[in-house]
């Protein structure tokens, strides 16, 4: 689910940008905010960082004693992506294993379907392994699949989420194109 989120961060502007005034200082602050935002991947409460939408407020700068740079409190709005149990997602298969499949769903790459949650599908080994059901629907590398989220977990060390999903339910499984 995409969420609109309001955040407050402290932005450190290097000393070489401190001689800037007005719009140039705002530009330096915004540039640094966007750089900081781009280096962060995800946090537990709000999910993956996608995009900054608005810069709402820049507070008074405080001089950092260690570096001599200015530290500005900044309020901004952004879009985040959080996987929630019970929601239906679509993802693209990027790894097929005997015991299940990994999907990419937006920024999430660790979305896993256990073979136990793929009722009616059988694993077919080979050069291009896949899962096939009795209706000849095939799930292989590159297939777009609609799933339901059973559970999600945040890995603090990797700053990443893992999700367990299922194909059990109505309108779940490979998404067929109009030409299929």
pLDDT tens digits, 34-59? 999 999 999 999 999 999 999 999 99
- CATH 2.40.50.140 domain range(s) in the chain: 88-174
In this structure, of 27-31, 60-64, 73-77, the range with the lowest mean pLDDT score is 60-64
pLDDT of residue 54: 94
DSSP 15: G
The CATH number of 88-174, from 2.40.50.140, 3.40.50.300, 2.40.10.10, 1.10.3720.10, is: 2.40.50.140
Q: What is the pLDDT of residues 3-34, one digit of tens each?
A: 999 999 999 887 665 565 666 778 888 999 99
- Rounded mean pLDDT of the chain? 89
pLDDT of residue 21: 62
Q: What is the pLDDT of residues 109-137, one digit of tens each?
A: 999 999 999 999 999 999 999 999 998 89
Percent of the chain surpassing pLDDT 90: 65
Evaluate if pTM is beyond 0.85: no
> Which residues are paired to 88 by β-bridges?
148
- 148: Cβ–Cβ under 8 A, 6 or more apart, which residues? 86, 87, 88, 89, 165, 166, 168, 169, 172
Local structure of 93: helix, strand or coil: strand
Q: What is the pLDDT of residues 144-179, one digit of tens each?
A: 999 999 999 999 988 899 999 998 888 888 997 545
- CATH 3.30.1490.120 domain range(s) in the chain: 2-81
Contact indicator for 83, 108 with CB cutoff of 8 Å: yes
Q: Give the C-alpha distances (Å, rounded to integers) separating 85 from 13, 90, 101, 154, 166.
A: 39, 14, 18, 13, 11
* CATH class assigned to 2-81: alpha beta
Question: If you search the block for the tokens 């499984």, which residue do you land on?
Answer: 173
């Amino acid at each position: 689910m995409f969420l609109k989120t309001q955040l407050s961060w402290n932005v450190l502007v290097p000393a070489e940008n401190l001689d800037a005034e007005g719009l140039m200082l705002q530009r330096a602050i915004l540039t640094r905010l966007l750089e900081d935002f781009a280096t962060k991947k995800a946090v537990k409460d709000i999910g993956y960082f996608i995009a900054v939408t608005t810069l709402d407020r820049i507070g008074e700068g405080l001089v950092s004693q260690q570096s001599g740079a200015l530290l500005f409190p900044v309020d901004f709005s952004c879009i985040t992506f959080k996987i929630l149990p019970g929601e239906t997602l679509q993802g693209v298969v990027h790894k097929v294993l005997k015991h299940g499949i990994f999907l990419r769903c937006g920024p999430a790459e660790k979305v896993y379907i256990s073979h136990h949650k793929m009722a009616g599908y059988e694993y077919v080994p080979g050069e291009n392994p896949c899962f096939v059901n009795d209706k000849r629907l095939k799930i292989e590398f590159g297939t777009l699949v609609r799933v339901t989220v059973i559970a999600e977990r945040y890995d603090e060390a990797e700053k990443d989420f893992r999700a367990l999903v299922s194909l059990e339910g109505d309108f779940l499984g490979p998404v067929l194109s109009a030409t299929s």
